[in-house]
Structures are given as C-alpha cells and as structure tokens.
A = this chain, B = another copy of it.
Amino acid sequence: MISGKNHIGNKLSSSGSTTFNTFNPQLNIENDNIFTEATTEEINAAVTLATKAFKVFRNTSGKQKANFLNTIADEILALDDVLIKMFCSESGLPEERAKGERGRTIGQLRAFADLVQEGSWVEAMIDTAQPNRKPISKPDLRRMMVPLGPVVVFGASNFPLAYSTAGGDTAAALAAGCPVIVKSHPMHAGTGELVSAAIINAAERTGMPNGVFSNLNSIGYNVGIQLVKHSEIKAVGFTGSIVGGRALYDLASRREEPIPVFAEMGSINPVIILPKALVERGETLAKTLAGSITLGTGQFCTNPGLILGMKGGDLSNFIKGLSEEIIRVEPTCMLHPNIIGAYERNKVNALAQSELTVVADYKNDVKTNYARQTIITVEGKTFLENPNLHQEVFGPFSMVVQCENKSQLETIISNLEGQLTGTLIAGNNEAEKFSRLIGALQNRVGRMIFNGVPTGVEVCPAMVHGGPYPASSDSRFTAVGIHSIKRWVRPFSYQNWPDNLLPVELKNENPLGISRVIDGVQTVKSIQLEN
C-alpha cells in the first residue's frame, strides 16, 4: 500500500538514493516501509508543476475549491483504519488521539470549504467612480484578496494529521488558491503518503490542475532548504522548533526576492495563579495543571511549561499538590526516540541550572520512549536572571516560579519572550486588582485564557494561534482557524476595470451574492448602474 515514493503532482517518483524508515516508538522498532528522499530534479519538477498549476488554480471558483477540499476530507475518511493504524505506528499516540486528530483535520478542510464556497472571505470592497468630483474625478476601484502563488508547507512532528500533509496550513493555502508542496515530516512519512494520495485522488476527481499538490519525502534539511530558496515559491508555512523555524525564516528573508514565512514555533505558555485562587481551589488547580502538563506526553505547543505565583504557604501547598498529582499520572510514549532524546537532554540542561529545586521527578521504571514527568521550582529572582530557564523543554516538564511580590511578577511577565498563550487563574473578584499584570501579559502573548488551561486549541474564527516572536515569526497572522487563510493572500485592486472582465466577486451584479463593502457600506446588494 505504501510506495515510499514522492508525489510530484499526480506521479509517484523515487529517483533518489537516500532512503529512510519511520519508527514505532511504542514497539521501539523501525517500521518496514522504506521512503526515498526527493532529489533536486524531483523538487524542481514539483515546483515547475505548481507554478504551472497556479495559472489555472488561482482562477478556480470557490465552489470548485470547496468541492476539492471536501473531496480530500472524504478521501481521508475513506482510508479508515489503514490511516489510523499508520498514524499510531508512526507516532506512538493512542488510537483515540488518532481519531480525534483526523476529526480535526476533516473539520478544518470542511471549514475552509464552507468559507470559499460562501465566498465573502475575499474581502471585496468597491469604491464606485465619481466622474464629477472636483478638483479631479474619482476612479472606480475594486479590491479583493488574491493568492500569492505556490507555497511550501512543512509538516509538524507532533500533529501527523492536523498540522501536516492535509493539515491547517495546506487546507488554508489550497482554499486561498495557492498550490501546495508539502515537505513531509520524516517521522510520519507513511501517514504523509496516505494523506498525499488522498489529496491527489481528490484533485483528479475534482478536475484540479496537475501540480496543485506535491508531497516530498526528506530525512535531512536539504529538501526543505531547496524548496524555500526556490524562486517560484512564494510563501512558507512551518510548525516546529524555534531553531528550525528561524532557519527557514533566515533563508527566506535572504533570498533575492524575500518571501513571507509563517512559522509557529516554541512557547512555554505562562500560567499565572493569583493568591486568592490558590486559597480558594489550590488542590483542584494542582490536579488540573498536572493533567494539562502531561496531556499528549506534553507534546503540545500550548503545554504549560511555566507556572507563576506569589511566594508563600499557599503556593508551597500548591507545589506539593501538583508534585503529588503529577507523579500519579501514568507515563506515556513520546513521538520518536529523537523527541525523547531531546526531552531528556533539555531536562538535564534545565536541571543543571543553579538555585532550583526538583519537586517532582517520576522515578519508576518506564517502557522505552516513555517520558518521565518532572516539576521544578525556582525563585522569581533566579528565573529573571537566568534566560536558560526561559527555554522550552518539549515534553511533560514544568517549572513553578515563586515571585517575591506583584511587581516582580509583572517584571517577569514583561521580560518573557513572545508566547502563544498566557493563562490567568484568579479567585473571586481578584483579577480586577491586577490590570497592569494583565496588560503586561497581553503584550507578550497571542491568546489569554481565564481560569482554564492553555492546552486545547479550539478551531473557530475567534481563535488566535500565534503571538509575538518567537511564538510565531509574524504575529500579524494566526496559524489556526479560518483567518489563517490571510497568510497566503494579498490584496489586489482593479481600477476602472470593465465589468465583463472583472472576477465574479467584484462584478456589479454580485452573482455570488457575497457580502461586500460598497462605498463604505457592507452589503450583499448588487450595484445599480445609472444608464
């Protein structure tokens, strides 16, 4: 069933000699399928096809694109257990998670299908002519969003479905009208090939141009570098580490023609627990946070790696409670030996810092590739003065910072790097007294959660998944939800363009019935011509 080849448009190809296998971390063995890394020729062929496909695809109607996206969803569902088993064998994640992530993937594809089928997402704006305006006449101007061109999507290790081959980045880019070349993640190349085949089938079934999608295998950096440097690639989407995201950003910004890179990178997701909340429900909070820290073996980008509170007996009790609760959690498997290797290394680095106390450290025997959870605590001053402690330890690890006072807490928050999320846990009528702290937090994050946990990223229009650097490379966009389509489009304006040559979205009669802003008024009405 798995060929191990690259999809260069609708053709399978494997002319290279570099091969690799994926790995089953639960069984601690290599999987059987052998994947062949894409060659320079295959990379160039995929880009050439994508460039050609763009000429057709960018004019493809919303209805046709919706059909394509919905058919991808159907094809993915049709893979059924084959996909679920492959997902689990390449990630060590349980079947329930595989099914949940498939549901999320399908949901995203269908949400973008709905968006482009409806059509108003292009933000059509029309300022009609004023031929008699003084001192000079005003032309007719009509604006809408148009796609950037072929984009490259890097699959995420921690979301083999929802943020990989047919994940959020791909769905958003295809919806926008951009052909997509996926740099498949080597840890789940089999899942990638299955989904890629689903996309190719859907493209053929719905009459999309060949090259609208390609999937390239790669085990090292070479394929990604060549793709990002290719002059016909017009944007890049990435989910992963700060080092990886920054490297791609640097490559892209040093091109002769720089291109936008949207990289969703690391985050330690500060959780602030205010004093009264500790008094009112310290025990429950310990339990809830222990769950959030260990959820998915701590392999979510919104994992709470930093908990902050005011020093004192209540915080000490909470730390004790959190430590007890987290030790009770049964360790689970990480995605890959490389991931657990990095987790152990980063943890050793963190623990090697001075003036910290390990308050929980799972000591029992665990299966190979299973991660032991750890909690440390430090004083506010120590944290402030040691930037090494601000680095993400990807996995079930968290740090409780004991602040001297409100002002130190504020200083710590203001000095944090950009974060995806910030959480405020407050007692009854307590948050009102911390407006400066909330202001400081708001300025460092993309989303603030009240009395909850940062894990769990709802896919909906009001979601923002992104934030000040390095949470993401461009905080002006979100990576999750329908607005993530804006990463792949640019505004375009037609001046005095004849109605018969305008795209349907901008024609006088508004044949799609979309919502447009006409001379400042949002309306679905057509434009009545004065004849």
Q: Give chain A's interface residues, CB within 8 Å of chain B.
A: 55, 58-59, 125-127, 136, 138-139, 141-143, 146, 148-149, 249-250, 253-254, 257-260, 417-418, 431-432, 438-439, 442-443, 446-452, 456, 458, 460-464, 466, 468-470, 473-478, 483, 486-487, 489-498, 500-501, 515, 517, 520, 522
Contact = CB atoms under 8 A, between A and B. Distances in A.
Given A257-B469, A475-B490, A476-B489, 17 more contacts: A125-B461, A126-B462, A139-B449, A139-B456, A141-B458, A141-B460, A143-B462, A149-B443, A253-B258, A446-B490, A446-B491, A447-B493, A450-B496, A461-B520, A476-B487, A478-B491, A515-B522
B447 A492 contact: yes
B461 A143 contact: yes
A148 B467 CA distance: 10
Given A125-B462, A142-B462, A449 B495 contact: yes
Given A449-B495, A469-B257, A493-B446, A136 B456 contact: yes
A492 B442 contact: yes
Contacts of A501: 431-432, 438, 450
Contacts of A55: 439
Contact of A448 (B254, B260, B495): B495
Contacts of A149: 443
19 contacts: A139-B449, A139-B458, A143-B461, A253-B258, A257-B469, A258-B473, A260-B474, A432-B501, A442-B492, A447-B493, A450-B495, A452-B495, A464-B491, A464-B493, A466-B491, A476-B487, A476-B491, A477-B491, A522-B522
Top-9 shortest CB links A-B? A464-B493, A253-B253, A141-B462, A143-B462, A447-B493, A475-B490, A449-B495, A127-B460, A127-B462
A442 to B, nearest CB: 7
B431 A258 contact: no
A520 B492 CA distance: 25
A464 B492 contact: yes
B497 A463 contact: no
A477 B59 CA distance: 21
